[in-house]
């Protein structure tokens, strides 16, 4: 099980399925930080301070942040996929394959159709 922080653009059905799969997911809404236009650097810092890997669809911004702030609890950057259950399972499988998430940028891509 991983501790994740899902930022505002993470679809709720993905979060629900990840929870069903046993992942511990905290949302931006649950943390009281929704709708505040918080800079990406601060989102990543919040996740790190709470020992949570960041789950996001804002992949380009956070992958670029990794070299500048490599001391994080993990970044899971996903390509949007309207098949939310499939996306959640790909995230779950990627997490399960990692020995640790800390300081790791993980890319989850939509499969070719």
Q: Does the pLDDT value for residue 75 go beyond 90?
A: yes
Q: At what angle do helices 59-68 and 40-49 cross, to 10 degrees?
A: 70
CA nearest to 9, candidates 50, 61, 51: 61
28-56 pLDDT, tens digit each? 999 988 888 889 999 999 999 999 999 99
CATH number for 12: 3.40.50
Instruction: Please give the residue range of the domain that contains residue 58.
Output: 3-108
| Position 84 in a domain | yes
Predicted local distance difference test score (pLDDT) of residue 74: 95
> How many domains are contained in the chain?
1
Q: Does the pLDDT value for residue 107 go beyond 80?
A: yes
| Position 113 in a domain | no
| Position 83 in a domain | yes
Listed in order, strand segments (DSSP E) in the chain are 3-6, 24-27, 53-56, 75-78, 105-108
| Position 48 in a domain | yes
**Tokens read off for 24:** 């511990």
| Position 90 in a domain | yes
d(Cα 92, Cα 16) in Å, to the nearest integer? 12
78-95 pLDDT, tens digit each? 999 999 999 999 999 999
Residue 56 β-bridge partners: 77
């Amino acid at each position: 099980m991983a501790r994740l922080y899902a930022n505002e653009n993470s679809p709720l059905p993905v979060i629900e399925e990840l929870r069903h799969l046993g992942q511990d997911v905290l949302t931006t809404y649950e943390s009281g930080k929704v709708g505040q236009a918080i800079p990406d650097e601060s989102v990543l810092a919040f996740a790190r301070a709470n020992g949570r890997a960041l789950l996001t669809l804002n992949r380009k911004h956070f992958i670029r942040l990794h070299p500048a702030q490599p001391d994080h609890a993990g970044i899971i950057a996903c390509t949007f996929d309207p098949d939310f259950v499939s996306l959640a399972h790909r995230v779950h499988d990627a997490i399960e394959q990692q020995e640790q998430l800390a300081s790791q940028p993980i890319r989850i891509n939509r499969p070719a159709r």
